[in-house]
Each structure stands twice: as C-alpha cells, then as structure tokens.
Amino acid sequence: MSIKHNRVLFIDRDGVINVRLIDDYVTKIEQFQFLPGVLEAIAAFSKLFDRIFIVTNQQGVAKGLMTEDDLKKIHAHMLAQIEQNGGNIDAVYYCHHHKLDNCECRKPKNGMFLQALKDYPDIKDSIYYMVGDTKSDMGFGKNIGATNVMIANSDSELNSNYNFVFPSLKKLSSDIHLVLG
C-alpha cells in the first residue's frame, strides 16, 4: 500500500512576492508592491500544493522601524489581495527579532517550520518545497529537507544550496512541472 505524501510550499516574502526595498524595509501598506505575475502564480500554486506558507524575516520590528501591528496590517493586505486573485495562503510566519538575537525562528533556522508543524500537524511527512532569493532562504529549505527553488533576481545571493533556479515566481509557476517531476 502506498502512502500519499502532501506537497507543502514555503515562500519567502521580500524579493519573491513583493518588491524588496534596497537597504530599507516595507513598513507600511503603501510600500508593499507585488512583483509582476505573483498573484497569478500563487493562484496556480494553490491548485497544486496542499498547504502554502509564507516565511519571512522581518527585523525591521526589532529595529523599531515598524510595530508588529504594522507588520500584521501589511500581511493582512497581502493576503486579501492574494485571496481576491484566487490564491490561498494557509499562514504567514515571521521572525521579528534582530539578526544578532540568535533566535530560533530566524531563517535559516527552522523555528518557523516547527511552528507550522505545530499549527498544521497534517504537514508532517509531506514533501516540502522552499522558494526564496537569499542564502538564508536556501539554508532554511536545506534545514527542513525541502527541494529548494532559488528566485535569481538582481538582488539574489546565489549559493549552492538550491535544486532549481528561476528568474521569478511567475516563471516558476509556468514551469512548475519541472520542479514537481
């Protein structure tokens, strides 16, 4: 008898879903801008993956550039737009600590993954995929045993921890069959 494995997608936020502000942080809704094709890509992924989670480091909170409430408002706005365009995100996990705090939730550590497992026990023994554009994203994916997909844009930190590379989430969605096999 074969065991059905669920597919679970973890996606980074800044530089993958929305425009990354160079040397700055998205601190209010007005600064949040989806990258081209992202809403359509997430809608397509919602039909292929059993669960989708956004995992994002947001140390701007620890630096006092925004409050945790500001961050939650940005995420509520993002999720509403995704839903209005046919996509579904099961949860957004974020680390609001400073990178020097050495917390367990900051990528590349797996604290956000452990929280997702606690909140969604059905994802245990699933097939995991991580999509991101930084070394810490790929380290997170490696730490959770995921297939890593690097979004290689002009701000990407390329390294050897990825299995696939695409220029955008939009391009990944059109070629997702290459990743899923």
pLDDT of residue 37 exceeding 50, the answer is yes
Structural domains for the chain: 7-130+163-180 (3.40.50.1000)
User: How many angstroms separate the CA atoms of 52 and 128, rounded?
Assistant: 10
User: How many angstroms separate the CA atoms of 57 and 106, rounded?
Assistant: 6
Q: Quick check: pTM over 0.85? A: yes
- Segment 26-42 shows an average pLDDT of 97
Band (2; pLDDT cuts 50, 70, 90): very low
Question: What pLDDT is stored for residue 109 in this prediction?
Answer: 97
pLDDT tens for residues 145-157?
Answer: 999 999 986 555 5
Question: What pLDDT is stored for residue 143 in this prediction?
Answer: 97
- Percentage of the chain lying above the pLDDT 70 cut: 93
Question: What pLDDT is stored for residue 1 in this prediction?
Answer: 36
pLDDT of residue 62 exceeding 50, the answer is yes
Catalytic machinery residues: 12, 14
Band (160; pLDDT cuts 50, 70, 90): low
Band (4; pLDDT cuts 50, 70, 90): very low
Q: What is the DSSP string of the chain?
A: -PPPPPEEEEE--BTTTBPPPTTS---SGGG--BPTTHHHHHHHHHHH-SEEEEEEE-TTTTTTSS-HHHHHHHHHHHHHHHHHTT---SEEEEE-S-GGG--SSSTTSSHHHHHHHHH-GGGTTPEEEEEESSHHHHHHHHHHTPEEEEE--TT----S--SEEES-HHHHHHTHHHHH-
